[in-house]
Amino acid sequence: MASRRSSSFESHELLDTNHNPHVKSNIPKPVILRGLVCILGACLAALLLLIFSIVHFNSFPKKSLHYSSDLTRNILVKKIHSHNDYWRDRPLYTALSYGVQSVEADVWYLPEQSKTDTLYVGHSLASLTDERTFQRLYIDPLSNILSRTNPDSKFMSLSNHVNGVFDTDSYATLYLFVDFKTDGDALWPHVYNALEPLRSKGYLTYFDEDEETWHNGPITVIGTGNTPYKKVSELRKRDFFFDSPLENLNASYPSTIGPIASCALGKLVGEVKEISGLDDSQYQKLRKLVDDAHSKDILTRVWDTPWWPKIKQQNIWREILRAGSDFLNADDLEYASEFM
């Protein structure tokens, strides 16, 4: 009650003061002083805020100060193959963020379901959706990234080289494995045509059969799964290559058709029983196949390696690398990028 009375008294006093300027204020001095300090403080705070925002926004990099290819800056390129890349949270981008140089997309052509030539990407029928298409997950993002690493500028007109996706190594090509899940011959024209946006911009590596010359591009496409060997081998300006059988690199598989050869570990050396990894004869067998591929200018990838116990996986991975094999086939990209 007391406080309420005192406050009504104060407001009455204030009212009186306002109405008659000659009447000396009855407000005690410390209250005026406190009021002044408050106003001054507020002004100071506003001024500081203004100065801070001017300094802050001037020093903060504006969009115009970014450089075009900064998406992959600082990322070092590693010979890792992103197995079933599309099932990561961000297909392609997650792999690139770890410097992974090879990604794999499983493509399906299901004309009865779509009535269009849409290519679906997924591991199984259950994972397919209308939205997850080859174009949206791979072709469009790659076009977008490459238009950033090859900006349309007066400076780039001085360059006679098409940059790759990696800012730290613009000559590194990105291997795009296309795993044909449905009938190869039916899929072939659709996959080949789907690459047109990359092809027309000169983004695809190709081998010219007539001139017998390589033209390195930012993307090297490798068909695997049901990819029809005949269609690939018949291309004269070949910008679509074949994932050759590492266990059987005969004369049908020159590097100009298959610049990479792959095989499941078990098929190459049999079952690895020991937790310590390959035994000596298995290691020698692997080493010989890898050396043979390298003598033909073919890179290698060994897949389907044991993943558990972890120590077994590590021992086998070390031996695969010690044997000189090129691409580490990985499901856990973060782990693989640290392992290297």
Ligand X SMILES: *[C@@H]1O[C@H](CO)[C@@H](O)[C@H](O)[C@H]1NC(C)=O
Per CB under 6 A, residues contacting ligand X are: 245, 248, 250-252
CA distance 214 to 204: 11
Q: Which residue shows structure tokens 């360059």? A: 159
- Distance (Å) of CA 55 to CA 43, 59, 61: 18, 6, 12
Nearest to 162 by CA among 146, 176, 179, 181: 146
Nearer to ligand X, 206 or 242 (CB): 242
State the nearest-atom distance from the C-beta of 290 to ligand X, in Å. 18
Q: Residue 301: exposed, middle, or buried by beta-carbon count in 10 A (0-12, 13-18, 19+)?
A: buried
Cβ 274 to ligand X shortest distance, Å = 30
Distance, in Å, from the CA atom of 242 to the CA atom of 256, rounded to the nearest integer, reads: 9
Smallest separation (angstroms) from ligand X to the CB of 89: 37
- Per DSSP, helices labelled H in the chain are 2-19, 29-59, 93-97, 111-114, 134, 140-149, 184-194, 196-200, 229-234, 265-269, 280-295, 310-322, 333-339
Minimum Å distance from CB 253 to ligand X?
A: 7
Tell me the sheet residues that pair with 103. Answer: 82, 176
* Beta-strand pair 213-215/119-121: unpaired
Neighbouring C-alpha atoms within 13 Å toward the C-beta of 190: 21
User: Distance between CA atoms of 230 and 98, rounded to whole angstroms?
Assistant: 35
In the complex, minimum distance from the CB of residue 252 to ligand X, in angstroms, rounded to a whole number:
4
Nearer to ligand X, 146 or 261 (CB): 261
CB of 229 to ligand X, least distance (A): 8
Q: Among residues 158 and 251, whose Cβ is nearest to ligand X?
A: 251
In the complex, what is the shortest distance from the CB of residue 251 to ligand X, in angstroms, rounded to a whole number?
Answer: 4
Q: Which is nearer to ligand X, 133 or 262 (CB)?
A: 262
Query: Considering beta carbons, is residue 228 or 306 the nearer one to ligand X?
Result: 228
CB nearer to ligand X: give 229 or 339. 229
Strand order in the sheet with 213-215: 213-215, 206-208, 237-238
Nearer to ligand X, 146 or 263 (CB): 263
Residue type, 184: G
Q: What is the closest distance, in whole angstroms, from the C-beta atom of residue 228 to ligand X in the complex?
A: 13
Cis peptide before 309 (omega within 30 of 0): yes
User: Which one, 144 or 252, has the nearer CB to ligand X?
Assistant: 252
Rounded to 5°, the CA angle 249-252-254 comes to 70
